[in-house]
Amino acid sequence: MSTPPSASIQALYRYPVKGLSPQPLAGADLRPGETITGDRLYAIENGPSGFDPAAPAYFSKQKFLMLMRNERLAALDTAYDEATHTLAVSLNGREEARGDLRTAEGRAAIESFFTRYCADELRGPPKVLRAPGHSFSDVAAKVVSIINLASVAAVENAVGAPVDPPRFRANIYVKGWPAWHEFDLIDRTLAIGGARVKIIKRIVRCAATNVEPRTGIRDLQIPKTLMQTFDHMDCGVYGEVVSAGRIARGDRVTEAVPALPF
């Protein structure tokens, strides 16, 4: 029986506002059935979506500003302060907008910027959305997303050009697995730091990965290359937190050993 590969967390991120800048984390507390705290906490509605904060439900990303369609978002540098819920938006090193997303005034400041910045891509007035306990994830289930850096290297080799891992907008980037090893872990439970995460499905990639994550230029054909080279459009996996615990950069990622019956 072969020894499972040793792996560790190389990087850890959350995305406070859907479609905007990642926020690097040194560590995070995972809770069963939840995302990383603060991940996709807010979204910017692109025209009336029908989203009801009093009864939040999953909506397709097509209802919001998002990288798949609005690649200019990647050119923005956004910073989110968790303590004050303040979002600062900068372009080319200059701050363009700042607002406390808990207040009508703060949301209006951010909405006003996106009204101007995305004027030709809007289906109606942009609106900052939030609902307690809700995550504006691309999938209905509350999950964490995991990317195997060796798989990104395999994609890079197939593309024939550098592929920056942040294109895949994952929560956890893992180093040490062979390419595509993550697909062998479906329905298995991983020990990640102090938490346990069950891998539930592969992530089908969309055109958002074609966008260079710093310039906003659509410069590669990631889904097309995946299909042509590997006969699928998947890169990364979703996991469901099944046991609470703290995770941090550098933590080991191993397959959890099932408890023995008494």
Mean pLDDT of 19-24: 96
Q: Is the pLDDT of residue 261 over 50?
A: no
DSSP string, 131-162: -TT----SSSS--EEEEEHHHHHHHHHHHTS-
pLDDT at 5: 72
Q: Is the pLDDT of residue 257 over 90?
A: no
Q: Report the relative pairing of strands 144-148 and 172-175 from DSSP bridges.
A: parallel
> What domains can be seen in the chain, in order of their start residue?
7-34+139-255 (2.40.33.20), 43-129 (no CATH)
Q: Which residue has the higher pLDDT, 74 or 4?
A: 74
Task: State residue 18 phi and psi, 5-degree precision.
Answer: -50, 130
Tell me the per-residue pLDDT of 44-69, one tens digit each, with 9 for 90 and over. 999 999 999 999 999 999 999 999 89
Q: Is 104 exposed, middle or buried (0-12, 13-18, 19+ CB in 10 A)?
A: exposed
Q: Is the pLDDT of residue 262 over 50?
A: no
User: Can you read off the two tokens belonging to residue 228?
Assistant: 């042509």
Tell me the per-residue pLDDT of 203-242, one tens digit each, with 9 for 90 and over. 999 999 999 988 889 999 999 999 999 999 999 999 999 9
Q: Is the pLDDT of residue 2 over 60?
A: no
Q: Is the pLDDT of residue 259 over 60?
A: no
Q: Is the pLDDT of residue 260 over 60?
A: no
How far apart are the two ends of the chain, measured CA to CA in Å?
A: 25
Mean pLDDT of 127-152: 96
Share of the chain above pLDDT 70, in %: 96
- Rounded to 10 degrees, the C-alpha dihedral 52/57/60/65 comes to 40
Pairwise CA distance, residues 138 & 210, whole Å: 17
Contact between 181 and 150 (Cβ < 8 Å): yes
Q: Is the pLDDT of residue 72 over 50?
A: yes
pLDDT at 4: 64
Q: Sorting pLDDT into bands at 50, 70 and 90, what band is 35?
A: very high
DSSP string, 179-196: TTGGGGGTT-EEEETTEE
pLDDT at 215: 85
